[in-house]
Amino acid sequence: MAASEQSANKQYGGWNRRYKHESEVLGCSMTFTVYYPPAAEKGSVPVLYYLSGLTCDDQNFITKANAQRKASELGIALISPDTSPRANVPGEDDAMEVGSAAGFYLNATEGKWKQNYQMYDYIVKELPSVLSGLKGLNTQKASIMGHSMGGHGALVIGLRNPDKYAAISAFAPIANPSEAPMGSTALKAYLGDDKSHWKQYDATEIAKSYSGPGKKILIDQGTSDNFWKENLKPENFKNAAPKQLSVELRLQDGYDHSYFTMSTFIDDHVAFHAAQL
Protein backbone atom coordinates (compact mmCIF):
# COMPACT_ATOMS: atom_id res chain seq x y z
CA MET A 1 0.00 0.00 0.00
CA ALA A 2 3.00 2.35 0.27
CA ALA A 3 2.90 5.21 -2.23
CA SER A 4 5.80 6.11 -4.50
CA GLU A 5 6.27 9.66 -5.76
CA GLN A 6 5.93 10.05 -9.53
CA SER A 7 6.37 13.81 -10.01
CA ALA A 8 6.67 17.09 -8.10
CA ASN A 9 5.87 20.68 -9.08
CA LYS A 10 6.40 23.69 -6.85
CA GLN A 11 3.58 26.23 -6.55
CA TYR A 12 2.90 29.11 -4.15
CA GLY A 13 5.79 27.96 -1.98
CA GLY A 14 4.37 24.44 -1.61
CA TRP A 15 4.50 21.29 -3.69
CA ASN A 16 2.13 19.32 -5.88
CA ARG A 17 3.31 15.74 -5.52
CA ARG A 18 1.78 12.93 -7.54
CA TYR A 19 1.89 9.40 -6.15
CA LYS A 20 1.20 5.86 -7.32
CA HIS A 21 0.35 2.83 -5.21
CA GLU A 22 -1.14 -0.64 -5.48
CA SER A 23 -4.69 -0.63 -4.17
CA GLU A 24 -5.83 -3.75 -2.36
CA VAL A 25 -9.42 -2.49 -2.32
CA LEU A 26 -9.59 -1.77 -6.05
CA GLY A 27 -7.23 -4.48 -7.26
CA CYS A 28 -5.15 -2.20 -9.47
CA SER A 29 -2.60 0.61 -9.45
CA MET A 30 -3.97 4.02 -8.46
CA THR A 31 -2.64 7.55 -8.65
CA PHE A 32 -3.43 10.53 -6.43
CA THR A 33 -1.99 14.01 -6.03
CA VAL A 34 -1.29 15.95 -2.84
CA TYR A 35 -0.67 19.67 -2.62
CA TYR A 36 1.51 20.34 0.41
CA PRO A 37 1.38 23.97 1.61
CA PRO A 38 4.63 25.49 2.93
CA ALA A 39 3.41 24.85 6.49
CA ALA A 40 3.70 21.10 5.88
CA GLU A 41 7.50 21.44 5.99
CA LYS A 42 7.30 22.47 9.64
CA GLY A 43 4.63 20.07 10.89
CA SER A 44 1.52 18.11 9.98
CA VAL A 45 -1.35 20.05 8.40
CA PRO A 46 -5.08 19.24 8.01
CA VAL A 47 -6.24 17.62 4.77
CA LEU A 48 -9.04 18.58 2.39
CA TYR A 49 -10.17 15.81 0.04
CA TYR A 50 -11.37 16.87 -3.39
CA LEU A 51 -13.42 14.40 -5.45
CA SER A 52 -13.51 15.07 -9.19
CA GLY A 53 -16.34 14.51 -11.64
CA LEU A 54 -17.04 12.37 -14.68
CA THR A 55 -14.23 12.06 -17.29
CA CYS A 56 -11.64 13.40 -14.82
CA ASP A 57 -8.62 11.95 -13.03
CA ASP A 58 -6.45 13.20 -10.17
CA GLN A 59 -4.92 16.00 -12.28
CA ASN A 60 -7.93 18.05 -13.44
CA PHE A 61 -8.48 19.80 -10.13
CA ILE A 62 -4.77 20.24 -9.48
CA THR A 63 -4.07 21.90 -12.84
CA LYS A 64 -7.29 23.89 -13.39
CA ALA A 65 -8.91 25.02 -10.12
CA ASN A 66 -6.02 27.08 -8.69
CA ALA A 67 -6.94 26.05 -5.16
CA GLN A 68 -3.28 25.91 -4.14
CA ARG A 69 -2.96 29.65 -3.53
CA LYS A 70 -5.59 29.74 -0.79
CA ALA A 71 -4.47 26.37 0.59
CA SER A 72 -0.93 27.72 0.86
CA GLU A 73 -2.16 30.82 2.68
CA LEU A 74 -4.30 28.86 5.14
CA GLY A 75 -1.97 25.90 5.69
CA ILE A 76 -4.18 23.10 4.43
CA ALA A 77 -3.20 20.14 2.22
CA LEU A 78 -5.29 19.26 -0.84
CA ILE A 79 -5.86 15.58 -1.63
CA SER A 80 -6.97 14.76 -5.18
CA PRO A 81 -7.59 11.04 -5.90
CA ASP A 82 -8.51 9.46 -9.20
CA THR A 83 -12.20 9.03 -10.04
CA SER A 84 -12.31 5.26 -10.63
CA PRO A 85 -10.22 2.13 -10.77
CA ARG A 86 -8.23 1.63 -13.98
CA ALA A 87 -8.59 -2.13 -13.84
CA ASN A 88 -9.18 -3.12 -17.47
CA VAL A 89 -12.69 -4.33 -16.76
CA PRO A 90 -14.30 -5.33 -20.09
CA GLY A 91 -16.31 -2.43 -21.50
CA GLU A 92 -15.27 0.07 -18.82
CA ASP A 93 -14.48 2.70 -21.48
CA ASP A 94 -17.77 2.33 -23.37
CA ALA A 95 -19.93 4.91 -21.56
CA MET A 96 -19.40 8.24 -19.81
CA GLU A 97 -21.63 7.44 -16.81
CA VAL A 98 -20.24 3.99 -15.96
CA GLY A 99 -16.70 2.62 -15.86
CA SER A 100 -13.43 4.48 -16.27
CA ALA A 101 -13.50 7.95 -14.69
CA ALA A 102 -17.03 7.20 -13.46
CA GLY A 103 -16.65 5.26 -10.22
CA PHE A 104 -19.40 7.31 -8.51
CA TYR A 105 -17.67 6.85 -5.14
CA LEU A 106 -19.76 3.79 -4.25
CA ASN A 107 -19.16 0.08 -3.65
CA ALA A 108 -20.51 -1.82 -6.64
CA THR A 109 -22.39 -5.05 -6.01
CA GLU A 110 -23.28 -6.08 -9.56
CA GLY A 111 -21.64 -8.26 -12.20
CA LYS A 112 -18.29 -7.27 -13.62
CA TRP A 113 -18.09 -4.11 -11.52
CA LYS A 114 -18.19 -5.57 -8.02
CA GLN A 115 -14.63 -6.88 -7.91
CA ASN A 116 -12.86 -3.59 -8.61
CA TYR A 117 -15.33 -0.73 -8.36
CA GLN A 118 -15.20 -0.15 -4.62
CA MET A 119 -14.48 3.57 -4.61
CA TYR A 120 -16.41 4.26 -1.40
CA ASP A 121 -14.11 2.01 0.62
CA TYR A 122 -11.10 3.35 -1.23
CA ILE A 123 -11.84 6.98 -0.31
CA VAL A 124 -13.09 6.35 3.23
CA LYS A 125 -10.68 3.62 4.34
CA GLU A 126 -7.72 2.80 2.11
CA LEU A 127 -6.62 6.22 0.86
CA PRO A 128 -6.43 7.75 4.37
CA SER A 129 -4.31 4.77 5.43
CA VAL A 130 -1.94 5.35 2.52
CA LEU A 131 -1.77 9.07 3.29
CA SER A 132 -0.89 8.37 6.92
CA GLY A 133 2.43 7.03 5.64
CA LEU A 134 3.35 10.39 4.13
CA LYS A 135 5.03 13.15 6.13
CA GLY A 136 3.36 16.47 6.74
CA LEU A 137 -0.28 15.33 6.74
CA ASN A 138 -2.65 15.12 9.70
CA THR A 139 -5.27 12.74 8.33
CA GLN A 140 -7.18 12.88 11.64
CA LYS A 141 -8.21 16.45 10.75
CA ALA A 142 -10.02 16.15 7.43
CA SER A 143 -12.73 17.77 5.37
CA ILE A 144 -14.25 16.89 1.98
CA MET A 145 -15.51 18.58 -1.18
CA GLY A 146 -16.14 17.72 -4.82
CA HIS A 147 -17.58 18.65 -8.20
CA SER A 148 -20.51 17.06 -10.07
CA MET A 149 -20.10 13.27 -9.61
CA GLY A 150 -17.48 14.20 -7.03
CA GLY A 151 -19.93 16.56 -5.34
CA HIS A 152 -22.25 13.58 -5.05
CA GLY A 153 -19.37 11.62 -3.54
CA ALA A 154 -18.49 14.36 -1.06
CA LEU A 155 -22.09 14.71 0.14
CA VAL A 156 -22.62 10.96 0.48
CA ILE A 157 -19.29 10.21 2.14
CA GLY A 158 -19.45 13.26 4.38
CA LEU A 159 -22.95 12.51 5.62
CA ARG A 160 -22.35 8.81 6.12
CA ASN A 161 -19.15 9.50 8.06
CA PRO A 162 -19.86 12.76 9.90
CA ASP A 163 -17.17 12.17 12.52
CA LYS A 164 -14.45 11.82 9.87
CA TYR A 165 -14.99 15.12 8.04
CA ALA A 166 -15.26 18.57 9.62
CA ALA A 167 -17.40 20.01 6.82
CA ILE A 168 -18.70 19.30 3.32
CA SER A 169 -18.86 21.41 0.18
CA ALA A 170 -19.71 20.85 -3.46
CA PHE A 171 -19.80 22.47 -6.86
CA ALA A 172 -22.82 21.45 -8.95
CA PRO A 173 -23.27 18.07 -7.22
CA ILE A 174 -25.37 15.21 -8.54
CA ALA A 175 -27.36 15.58 -5.36
CA ASN A 176 -30.32 13.27 -6.07
CA PRO A 177 -28.97 10.63 -8.49
CA SER A 178 -31.95 8.29 -8.05
CA GLU A 179 -34.09 10.95 -9.75
CA ALA A 180 -31.63 11.94 -12.47
CA PRO A 181 -30.86 10.22 -15.80
CA MET A 182 -27.07 10.17 -15.42
CA GLY A 183 -27.17 9.14 -11.80
CA SER A 184 -29.79 6.45 -12.36
CA THR A 185 -27.75 4.92 -15.18
CA ALA A 186 -24.75 4.56 -12.89
CA LEU A 187 -26.66 3.35 -9.84
CA LYS A 188 -28.51 0.71 -11.86
CA ALA A 189 -25.29 -0.59 -13.43
CA TYR A 190 -23.36 -0.73 -10.17
CA LEU A 191 -26.12 -1.64 -7.69
CA GLY A 192 -28.85 -3.40 -9.69
CA ASP A 193 -32.52 -2.71 -10.38
CA ASP A 194 -33.73 -2.56 -6.78
CA LYS A 195 -33.91 1.18 -6.06
CA SER A 196 -33.96 0.58 -2.31
CA HIS A 197 -30.25 -0.24 -2.65
CA TRP A 198 -29.61 3.12 -4.28
CA LYS A 199 -30.64 5.16 -1.25
CA GLN A 200 -27.35 4.61 0.60
CA TYR A 201 -25.58 6.48 -2.21
CA ASP A 202 -28.13 9.23 -2.79
CA ALA A 203 -27.37 12.35 -0.75
CA THR A 204 -30.99 13.53 -0.78
CA GLU A 205 -32.21 10.19 0.56
CA ILE A 206 -29.46 10.14 3.19
CA ALA A 207 -30.41 13.67 4.28
CA LYS A 208 -34.03 12.61 4.82
CA SER A 209 -33.00 10.17 7.55
CA TYR A 210 -29.85 11.92 8.82
CA SER A 211 -29.66 11.94 12.62
CA GLY A 212 -25.97 12.70 13.10
CA PRO A 213 -24.21 15.75 14.53
CA GLY A 214 -24.51 19.25 13.14
CA LYS A 215 -22.66 19.82 9.90
CA LYS A 216 -22.06 22.85 7.68
CA ILE A 217 -22.49 22.31 3.94
CA LEU A 218 -21.69 24.80 1.18
CA ILE A 219 -22.95 24.26 -2.39
CA ASP A 220 -22.34 26.46 -5.41
CA GLN A 221 -24.54 25.96 -8.46
CA GLY A 222 -24.21 27.92 -11.70
CA THR A 223 -27.45 29.07 -13.30
CA SER A 224 -26.05 28.45 -16.82
CA ASP A 225 -25.09 24.88 -16.01
CA ASN A 226 -26.60 22.64 -18.69
CA PHE A 227 -26.80 19.72 -16.24
CA TRP A 228 -28.48 21.64 -13.43
CA LYS A 229 -32.21 21.00 -13.74
CA GLU A 230 -32.23 17.46 -15.13
CA ASN A 231 -29.20 15.81 -13.53
CA LEU A 232 -28.02 17.73 -10.47
CA LYS A 233 -31.04 18.79 -8.36
CA PRO A 234 -29.23 20.44 -5.40
CA GLU A 235 -32.53 22.02 -4.36
CA ASN A 236 -33.89 18.55 -3.60
CA PHE A 237 -31.00 17.99 -1.22
CA LYS A 238 -31.40 21.34 0.53
CA ASN A 239 -35.14 20.79 0.96
CA ALA A 240 -34.55 17.31 2.42
CA ALA A 241 -31.88 18.37 4.90
CA PRO A 242 -32.84 18.38 8.60
CA LYS A 243 -32.12 21.35 10.86
CA GLN A 244 -28.74 20.08 12.05
CA LEU A 245 -27.45 20.21 8.48
CA SER A 246 -26.76 23.86 7.77
CA VAL A 247 -26.93 23.92 3.96
CA GLU A 248 -25.99 27.09 2.09
CA LEU A 249 -26.95 26.75 -1.58
CA ARG A 250 -25.60 29.64 -3.62
CA LEU A 251 -26.92 30.12 -7.16
CA GLN A 252 -24.19 31.80 -9.20
CA ASP A 253 -25.70 33.81 -12.03
CA GLY A 254 -24.39 32.98 -15.50
CA TYR A 255 -21.83 30.40 -14.38
CA ASP A 256 -21.65 26.96 -15.98
CA HIS A 257 -20.47 23.43 -15.10
CA SER A 258 -16.80 24.00 -15.92
CA TYR A 259 -13.59 24.74 -14.05
CA PHE A 260 -14.05 28.41 -14.98
CA THR A 261 -16.80 28.40 -12.36
CA MET A 262 -14.83 26.38 -9.87
CA SER A 263 -11.71 28.53 -10.09
CA THR A 264 -13.87 31.61 -9.49
CA PHE A 265 -15.27 30.37 -6.18
CA ILE A 266 -12.62 27.90 -5.00
CA ASP A 267 -11.09 30.32 -2.50
CA ASP A 268 -14.45 30.51 -0.71
CA HIS A 269 -14.56 26.74 -0.41
CA VAL A 270 -11.00 26.30 0.83
CA ALA A 271 -11.54 29.05 3.41
CA PHE A 272 -14.87 27.47 4.44
CA HIS A 273 -13.16 24.16 5.19
CA ALA A 274 -10.13 25.72 6.84
CA ALA A 275 -12.44 27.56 9.26
CA GLN A 276 -14.05 24.25 10.31
CA LEU A 277 -10.70 22.48 10.59
Residue 257 annotated as catalytic: yes
Residue tagged active-site, from 23, 84, 143, 148: 148
Question: Which residues are CB-contacts of 129 (< 8 A; sequence separation ≥ 6)?
Answer: 1
Distance (Å, rounded) from C-alpha 67 to C-alpha 99? Answer: 28
Q: Are 184 and 263 in contact (CB under 8 A)?
A: no
Residue tagged active-site, from 147, 257, 269, 273: 257
Rg, the chain, Cα only? 17
Q: What is the full DSSP assignment across 171-229? A: ES----GGGSHHHHHHHHHHH-S-GGGTGGG-HHHHHHT--S--EEEEEEEETT-TTII
Distance (Å, rounded) from C-alpha 94 to C-alpha 259? Answer: 25
Residue 148 annotated as catalytic: yes
Amino acid at residue number 119: M
Residue tagged active-site, from 23, 100, 225, 273: 225
Half-sphere CA count of 147, side-chain side, radius 13 A: 30
Query: Alpha helices, DSSP H only, in the chain?
Result: 59-64, 68-74, 119-121, 127-131, 149-160, 181-191, 203-208, 234-240, 259-276
Amino acid at residue number 22: E
Residue 209 annotated as catalytic: no
Catalytic residues: 148, 225, 257
